[in-house]
Structure 1
Amino acid sequence: MKKALTLTVVANMTSNYSEGLGNISSVQKVFKGQHVYAMRSRESLKNAICVQAGLYDDLETSVDGAAQKFVSEKNNAATCRALEGGYMSTEGLTYIRNSSFYLTDAVACDTFVNETRFHNNLYLASNNAKANGLNLQEEGNAKKAGLMPYQYEYDKSMKTYSLTIDLEMIGKDENFNAEADSEEKAERVLNLLNAVKNLSLVVKGNLDNAEPLFIAGGLSDRKTHYFENVVRVKHGALSITEDLKDKLSEDFSCALLKGDNFTNEDQVVKELCPISMKQFFDKLTEQVKSYYGV
C-alpha cells in the first residue's frame, strides 16, 4: 500500500545566510565532491514551507531554558498544526514526537561563485545628519549620523531539494493517544503541497520566487526521498538517465515549467513527457484526498 508522498524539486532560489564577520554576511555552503556549493539548509527551507503552508498559524511557544513549542494534553499534534513538524517538550514530563515530513537541504546544482554586493545606508544617515545639523564630510560625523557600509555574498541559482511526507503519521500524536480526522489530515498535506507549488521567500529584503522548475514524485510505498539520487542538473541541463526513467515508470510523474529554464528543454519534453505543474499538483491533490477518503 502506498503510504508516503515523495517529491524532488529543482527550483531557482537564494541561499540562506550563516555566520557573519563584522558587517560581512556569507551564504551557507556545503562541501562535497571536492567542490563548494551554496545551499539553503533544510531547517530554513522547512520553516519557510511551514509558514507559507499556514502550519505555524496556531503556534504557541513556551520557555524552559530555551524557547520551544508549547505542548499539552489538549495542545498536541492532532489538535495543533504547528506540532505536525515535530516537537520536544521538556516542561514537566519530556515528550518527543518526530516530524511527519522531512526535507533535504536545497543544494545548488553548480559550484559556488562568489558574487559580493556592497551597500550602505547613506540616505538614512544623510537624513539623520540633516536633522541634527551634521556635515557628513567632517571627521567623526559619519559615525554620529549612523553611516554604515555593509556587504554580503549573494547567490541565487538552481537548487535541488526533496520532501517526503509520512501519510500514516499525519495528524497522529501517540504521546496523548490523539488523532485528527481524515479531512484535517488531508488539508495539512495539501497545504504543504500548495506551499511547495507556490514557494516564495524573502531574503535580505528581496522577494524570491522559488516555485518548482522541474519536479518528480508522487505517492509511494517507500518512506524515503525516492528521486533524490537521480534528479541532477549540470551546466543548466537536466540529466536524463535510464535510472530516472525507470523510477518514473513506477507509477510516478514529473512536471516541467516551460520557459527555457533548462538548456535541454526540448529533450526533456521529448524523453520524459512531463505534464504541466498544474496537472501535477492537481493529480497529487486527488490522490491525497483518495488516500484519506475525503
Structure 2
Amino acid sequence: MSKGLTITGVFLAESANYGESLGNVATLKKITRGKGDQYTYISRQAIRYNIVEQLGEPLSSLNAEGSGTKQVIQFDQNATIDKYPEVDLFGYMKTVKGDNALTRSAKVRLSNAISLETYKGDTDFLTNMGLAKRLRENGNEKAMNSIAQSEIHRSFYRYTVTVDLDEIGIDKNVDIELPNEEKSRRVKKLLETIQYLYRDIRGRRENLQPLFVIGGVYDRKNPLFENVVDVQQNKVDVEKIEGVLTEEIKENTFVGIVKGAFENTAEVQEVLNGQKVPQVFESLKQKVAEYYEGN
C-alpha cells in the first residue's frame, strides 16, 4: 500500500539565516503577512544543506556545465542513487550540452522554517574594536574601528518534512532500485539527523532539535500538520491541531514534547497523548522499518 511519512517540528533558534546585506547592515531573511507583521525564516535550501552535511553519507560528485559566467554547478552524470543517498533523497537535475535534462524530483520535501513570533526590528551593534586596539598598540595609530549592524531575532520556528516512502531508492531514469533494507536504513538515518539537527552560523551553533514534534506514516502523502502547528504565548495550540485529527489520522500519529519548553506540556500530554521526543522518533523509525519489511 502507498505510504508517506510527514513530521512537523518546532525548535527554538536565533538569527539562523541571513539574506543580502544592505550597506553595513546584515539582514535576516523575512516574509511579511497580515497587517505588515514580519516573520524571519530559515530557507528550505539552508535546512537541506545542514541535513546533507550531517547525514554522515558520501557527498555526491559534482561538475560545472557551460562556460564563463554561465557555468552551472550540478550533480555529475555518474552520481547515481545507489552511490549517493543525497541524490536519492533530494533529487537531481543533470544536463549535457545538446541533450535534454535528466531530472528526478525530490522524494524528501522540506518547507521553510518560519518563525512563530514576529520580528520587532532588534539589531546588534558590532565593531572590531579589540583587533583595532591591538593594531594601534603595535604601532599602527591610524587603525580605525569597523562598524556594522546585524539584525537579530530569537523565536520558535516551525518546519515540515514529507517523505514519499514508495519512491525512496528507485530511479526509473537509469533503472535502479535498491533493496528494501537500504531504503529503510536511509529514511531512518534521515530521521536521526533531523532529531539532532544543528546549524552553524556566524560563530554560533544553533540547536535545531525539535522541542515539539508531530507526525506519522500515513496513506496520504500530505504535509498534514504544516499549517496547524502553532505556538501562542508560549503554548502549543492544541485546539488547532485537533481540528485536523480524524480517527484515521489520530491512530497513526505520534506527538512529542520536551517537558517545560512550553507552558501547556500537561495539556499536550493529556489531549494529544504527548510523549518524550526521542520516543516519537523511535516510533517513526519502527513504522518505517515495518513498511519496508512488508513490501
**Do they superpose with TM above 0.5?**
yes
Aligned to 1:97: 104
| Whole-Å separation in 2 of the counterparts to 1:33 and 1:103 | 24
Aligned length, in residue pairs: 282
Alignment of 1:71-90 (within 5 A): 71-72=76-77, 74-84=78-88, 85-90=90-95
Deviation at 1:245, TM superposition (A): 4.4
Aligned letter for 1:210? L
Q: For residues 53-91 of structure 1, what are the alpha-carbon distances to aligned partners after superposition, in whole Å with 9 as ceiling and x for unaligned?
A: 235x3222211143433332x421232222121111112
Unaligned runs of 5+ in 2: none
> Which residue matches 1:70?
75
Secondary structure of the 2:287 match is: helix
Distance 2:233 2:176 in 1: 49
Out of 44, 56, 64, which is 1:54 matched to?
Answer: 56
RMSD of aligned Cα (Å):
1.9
Amino acid at match of 2:81: A
Q: Which amino acid aligns with 1:104?
A: S
Aligned-partner Cα distance in 2 for 1:244–1:273:
15
Residue in structure 1 matched with residue 43 of structure 2 by the alignment: 41
In structure 1, list runs of 5 or more residues that go unmatched: 136-140
Instruction: Name the structure 1 match of 2:119.
Output: 112
CA contact (8 A) 1:190 1:288 kept: yes
Q: Which residue of 2 aligns with 1:138?
A: none
Q: How far has the Cα of 1:30 moved from its partner? A: 1.0
Q: Is the 8 A contact 2:60 2:79 kept in 1?
A: no
Q: Offset at 1:142? A: 2.5
- 2:269 matches 1:265: no
Alpha-carbon distance between aligned partners in 1 of 2:74 and 2:112, rounded to the nearest angstrom: 23
1:231 touches 1:244 (CA, 8 Å); kept in 2?
no
User: Which portions of structure 1, spanning 4 or more consecutive aligned residues, are displaced by more than 4 angstroms?
Assistant: none
Q: Deviations over 1:214-255 (max 9, x none)?
A: 111110111120111221111211111131544752421111
TM-score by length of 2: 0.89
TM value normalised by structure 1: 0.89
CA distance in 2, matches of 1:27, 1:225: 26
CA distance in 2, matches of 1:158, 1:66: 38
* Aligned residue identity for 1:108: S
Work out the CA distance in 2 between the residues paired with 1:115 and 1:275: 35
- Look up the SS of the partner of 2:19 in the other structure: strand
Residues 245 and 272 in structure 1, CA contact (< 8 A), matched pair in contact too? no
Give the alignment partner of residue 149 of structure 1, picking from 147, 150, 158: 147
Aligned match of 2:199: 201
